[in-house]
């Protein structure tokens, strides 16, 4: 019990003193996950919206597969990206394995389906309500998809956050393709996993606190933005 | 300025020939033939489930007939700005200001960025909502939202305006305001085709009445004749049942 209390006290010191090693890990985590979220939105939001407003043969299967991909196991994604990027792999020449870029790629693959599947659902519900009016005004399908994405921007914030939460919290993919190299590819989750197994509880706990705080603050901020916007825009 | 001046050839008349529309084997519109001419205000009445809203959507092109033809005098071409507009029972406005809702419709109609704001403002002024121009459209009252929807339609200077029970959810004050705007649009040269449940409204607005019953067009008459001496038994029962006196 006392060792845990001690570890917690030391963790607080690390956090309060902005320990350089800890700061580096936190900043790298944010850089990797935020980049992955940004890329996932660029790909996933238009893709989800396009599916929402289109009708084509096999559409149901696409929706089912997309929904299923939300549950992609991170280690499997890590393994696939590892095989792609390893020296002998098809993209081995790029020399990306064990770099932050490889981690961004893995996380983007992991969360793009989440962003696409959830936005498909939200946009499709709205499309039911807006379809006749937009068609009456002469809007084309893909124009409508863009119009709907903008009109639903406050609901989409929650989806983007779900993606970020998943990216920031996962350890399986980044540890395989990043390698958890100290000072290069070590992020919060991989550091926690390593330090815990090494017995360095203060660093693990400190990082855990920061990770929780970041997720909590972001969600609170998004909640406030959404509430305010909904009151203002209806 | 009438829309006919802009358009190469007028949209109207609209000719429906033996139009049939079925949903899942159920006959909703049954062999309707009719010609809608420009000028007059046409009001479609009938009991629930008569197919009034479906007929309106067929005319506006939101639904395709199962069989039969619907032909405009000079149809709109693909990619051309629309020359007809529709106002729905429940207005669908976007999460942006009232002004931007209208500007959006104008941009779809190909209006240049420079003229959109002025034209949107002018449309809001005509429905008496200019003071609310910058307010988010979806937090306006139901009556105000419907007036924004009408302003959006008016800004497009349509040759034909379809209205599907535009006042069904509104109180008498808001209803009166909507009727005033519809009258003003008609006076400015727009053909009005409206579905209503409110026979008082049909009397106030109609130049001619179309009576629809179980998907069939049973009567087409002046409001005077329709209300005083309906030609069909169904119409007589409908008028008797619906009128409050």
Domain boundaries, chain A: 2-233
CA pseudo-torsion sign B85, B243, B48, B169 = positive
pLDDT at B184 over 50: yes
Q: What is the pLDDT of residues A208-225, one digit of tens each?
A: 999 999 989 988 988 898
CA B170 to chain centre: 16
Report pLDDT for B167: 95
Minimal CA separation from B225 to chain A, in Å: 34
Report pLDDT for B243: 61
Report pLDDT for A143: 93
Q: Which residues of chain A have a CB within 8 Å of the CB of B86?
A: 132, 136
pLDDT at B15 over 90: yes
Supply B117's token pair: 């704001």
pLDDT at B245 over 60: no
Report pLDDT for B3: 47
Look at strands B41-45 and B208-213 and give their pairing: parallel
- C-alpha span between A188 and A107 (Å, rounded): 14
- C-alpha span between A144 and A130 (Å, rounded): 9
Supply B166's token pair: 């535009």
Nearest residue of A to residue B91 by CA position?
A133
Task: Tell me if ipTM is over 0.85.
Answer: yes
Query: Which backbone phi and psi does B14 adopt, to 5 degrees?
Result: -105, 125
Range A129-138 burial, b when 16+ CB lie within 10 A, else e: ebbbbbbbbb
- C-alpha span between A55 and A32 (Å, rounded): 36
SS3 string, chain A, reads CHHHHHHHHHHHHHHHCCCHHHHHHHHHHHHHHHHHHHHHHHHHHHHHHHHHHCCCCCHHHHHHHHHHHCCCCHHHHHHHHHHHHCCCCCCHHHCCCCCHHHHHHHHHHHHHHHHHHHHHHHHHHHHHHHHHHHHHCCCCHHHHHHHHHHHCHHHHHHHHHHHHHHHHHCCHHHHHHHCCCCCCCCCHHHHHHHHHHHCCHHHHHHHHHHHHHHHHHHHHHHHHHHHHHHHHHC
Q: What is the pLDDT of residues B47-91, one digit of tens each?
A: 999 999 999 999 999 999 999 999 999 998 877 888 999 999 999
Supply B78's token pair: 């693909």
For residue A193, give every residue at least 6 positions away whose Cβ sits within 8 Å of its Cβ, in sequence order, or none: A171, A175, A180
Nearest to B197 by CA among B151, B161, B156, B244: B244
- Cross-chain residue pair A139–B136, CB shorter than 8 Å: no
pLDDT at B156 over 50: yes
Nearest to B86 among A136, A139, A232 (CB): A136
> Which residues of chain A, if any, have pLDDT below 70?
1
Q: Which of B53, B96, B105 to mutate to test the interface with A (most CBs of A within 10 A)?
A: B105
Look at strands B84-87 and B160-164 and give their pairing: parallel
Minimal CA separation from A18 to chain B, in Å: 43
Would you call B165 helix, strand, or coil by DSSP? Answer: coil
Are A98 and A145 in contact by the 8 Å Cβ rule? The answer is no
Angstrom distances, CA of residue A110 to CA of A29, A230, B31: 16, 30, 55
pLDDT at B237 over 60: yes
- Cross-chain residue pair B138–A154, CB shorter than 8 Å: no
Report pLDDT for A90: 93
The residue behind tokens 């989750």 is A189
Query: Which backbone phi and psi does B46 adopt, to 5 degrees?
Result: 155, 165
Look at strands B14-23 and B26-36 and give their pairing: antiparallel
| Omega within 30 of 0 (cis) for the link into B13 | yes
- CATH superfamily, domain A2-233, is MetI-like (1.10.3720.10)
Minimal CA separation from B127 to chain A, in Å: 19
pLDDT at B4 over 50: no
- C-alpha span between B213 and B187 (Å, rounded): 30
Q: Which of A133, A139, A228, A232 to mutate to test the interface with B (most CBs of B within 10 A)?
A: A133
- C-alpha span between B201 and B22 (Å, rounded): 29
């Amino acid at each position: 019990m006392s060792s845990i209390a001690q570890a917690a006290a030391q963790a607080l010191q690390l956090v309060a003193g902005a320990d350089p090693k800890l700061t580096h890990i936190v900043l790298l985590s944010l850089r990797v996950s935020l980049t992955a979220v940004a890329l996932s939105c660029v790909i996933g939001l238009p893709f989800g919206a396009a599916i929402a407003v289109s009708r084509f043969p096999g559409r149901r299967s696409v929706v089912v597969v997309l929904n299923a991909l939300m549950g992609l196991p991170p280690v499997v994604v890590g393994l696939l990206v590892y095989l792609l990027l390893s020296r002998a792999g098809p993209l081995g020449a790029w020399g990306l394995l064990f770099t932050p870029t490889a981690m961004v790629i893995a996380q983007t693959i992991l969360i793009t389906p989440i962003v696409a599947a959830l936005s498909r659902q939200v946009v499709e519900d709205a499309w039911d309500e807006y379809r006749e009016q937009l068609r009456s005004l002469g809007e084309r399908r893909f124009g409508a998809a863009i119009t709907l994405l903008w009109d639903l921007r406050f609901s989409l914030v929650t989806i983007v956050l779900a993606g970020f939460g998943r990216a920031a919290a996962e350890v399986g993919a980044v540890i395989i393709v990043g390698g958890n190299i100290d000072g290069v590819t070590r992020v919060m989750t991989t550091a926690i996993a390593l330090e815990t197994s090494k017995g360095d509880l203060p660093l693990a706990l400190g990082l855990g606190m920061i990770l929780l705080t970041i997720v909590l603050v972001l969600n609170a901020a998004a909640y406030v933005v959404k509430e305010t916007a909904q009151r203002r825009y209806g | 300025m009438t829309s006919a001046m802009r358009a190469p050839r007028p949209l109207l008349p609209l000719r429906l020939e033996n139009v049939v529309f079925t949903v899942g084997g159920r006959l909703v519109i049954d062999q309707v033939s009719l010609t809608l001419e420009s000028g007059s205000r046409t009001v479609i009445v009938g009991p629930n489930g008569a197919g009034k809203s479906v007929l309106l959507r067929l005319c506006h092109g939101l639904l395709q007939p199962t069989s039969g033809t619907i032909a405009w005098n000079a149809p709109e071409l693909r990619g051309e700005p629309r020359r007809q507009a529709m106002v729905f029972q429940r207005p669908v406005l976007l999460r942006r200001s009232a002004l931007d809702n209208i500007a959006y419709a104008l941009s779809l109609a190909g209006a240049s960025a420079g003229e959109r704001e002025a034209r949107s403002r002018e449309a809001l002024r005509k429905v008496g909502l200019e003071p609310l121009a910058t307010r988010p459209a979806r937090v306006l009252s139901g009556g105000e939202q419907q007036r924004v929807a009408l302003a959006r339609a008016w800004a497009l200077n349509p040759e034909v305006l379809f209205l599907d029970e535009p006042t069904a959810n509104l109180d008498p004050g808001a209803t009166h305001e909507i009727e005033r705007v519809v009258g003003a649009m008609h006076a400015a040269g727009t053909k009005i085709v409206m579905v209503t449940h409110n026979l008082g409204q049909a009397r106030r607005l109609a130049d001619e009445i179309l009576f629809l019953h179980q998907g069939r067009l049973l009567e087409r008459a002046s409001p005077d004749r329709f209300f005083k001496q309906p030609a069909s038994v169904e119409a007589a029962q409908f008028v008797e049942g619906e009128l409050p006196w």
